[in-house]
Amino acid sequence: MSKTEILEELPKLTPEEREEIRLKLAELDGEWLDSDDPLSDKEKALLEARLEDLEKHPEKSIPWSEAEAQLKARSARTPSPISRKLPSGMRSANRDWVESS
C-alpha cells in the first residue's frame, strides 16, 4: 500500500483505530511519551511490559467506562483518608471544615 493510499484511508478509520496508529507511529519514532517525561527507565520498562501483555491478552482488559464505574463505586464505599481523620461531630464539605448538623 502506498503512502497516498494510506493517507486516503485515514479519514475512514474510527477514533480508536486512529489512536492506535498514533501510538504505533510514536513507538516507531521512539516518542511514545513526551520528550520531557518524568518516567524512569524502570517505569518505562514496566509500562512497555504491561502494554505488551495487553496486546497478547486483550481479553484481560476492560473498557475505560467500566473501569471508571468500578473506581467510582469503590470510592463511594471507601471514605477518603481526610474524612476518616475528622474529629467527632465534624465532616468535610468542599475541602472546608464544617460542623455536622
Q: What one-letter code names the amino acid at 7?
A: L
- Which pLDDT value is given to residue 69? 93
pLDDT higher than threshold 90 for residue 8: yes
The residue extents of the domains of the chain are: 8-35, 39-72
CA 47 to chain centroid, in Å, comes to 12
pLDDT at 7 over 70: yes
Cell of 12: 475512514
pTM above 0.85, yes or no: no
CA distances to 25, 27, 34, 98 from 10, rounded to whole Å, are 13, 18, 24, 55
Using the predicted structure, report yes or no on whether residue 67 has a pLDDT greater than 80: yes
- pLDDT bracket for residue 31 (50, 70, 90): low
Average pLDDT of every residue of the chain: 78
Whole-angstrom distance, CA of residue 92 vs CA of residue 98: 6
Residue 20 has pLDDT above 80, yes or no: yes
